[in-house]
Amino acid sequence: GQNIDQPTEMTATEGAIVQINCTYQTSGFNGLFWYQQHAGEAPTFLSYNVLDGLEEKGRFSSFLSRSKGYSYLLLKELQMKDSASYLCAGLDSNYQLIWGAGTKLIIKP
Amino acid sequence: EAQVTQNPRYLITVTGKKLTVTCSQNMNHEYMSWYRQDPGLGLRQIYYSMNVEVTDKGDVPEGYKVSRKEKRNFPLILESPSPNQTSLYFCASSSSGELYNEQFFGPGTRLTVL
């Protein structure tokens, strides 16, 4: 079956670094997405990885290892506004998105 | 402004009373999709559409209908809503369903069925 696993909740301190992990099992693989979703709002796109390695975008970076079925989202210099849920989604061989349940990130001052 | 709009944003209704949630995008996207989001579960796809007059079932289509008569609109119809359809619904669109492209989401519709 197809499955995306990510931690339910994480807590970090303002100004610190946090890594949110995601493991995936999909029928075929055409890439992995990360979305951010603030409470009560729509998800917004953060990153897409299809090749192994690290992609950096400002304070946010995303890493993919296809051989391990593993990705992580790295957030640096955490700000209070980064408190949100982070959704991992894999794109399968039919180009359908398989979504994880999301990781709720709590930032403490 | 490029956007996906949904109406209504909030709706409380009763079991069995037919309702429609509208979705419209102004980005000329081919691909549109409906999701529901429930606590502890990921986004689950209800229906999707690759283009006008082409719709397909997602993971949880039971109790829902859709239509795609125009490129910009993709309404979600609940013919006879039941309490287990109480959820947060999102419409999304992207420029193509077969290649990588980020999905743009509407603001969500919070539906309560009593």
Share of chain A above pLDDT 90, in %: 84
Distance from CA of B15 to the nearest CA of A (A): 24
- Say if the Cβ atoms of B108 and A48 lie within 8 Å: no
In which region does residue A15 sit, left (phi positive, over 0), alpha (psi from -120 to 50) or beta (all else)?
left
Chain B contact present for A51, CB below 8 A: no
CB A21 within 8 A of CB A7: yes
Q: How far is CA B101 from the centre of its chain?
A: 18
Predicted local distance difference test score (pLDDT) of residue A83: 98
Q: For residue B99, is pLDDT > 60? A: no
Kindly give the pairing relationship between strand B10-13 and strand B109-113.
Answer: parallel
pLDDT band at A101 (very low <50, low <70, confident <90, very high): very high
pLDDT band at B95 (very low <50, low <70, confident <90, very high): confident
- Say if the Cβ atoms of B100 and A48 lie within 8 Å: yes
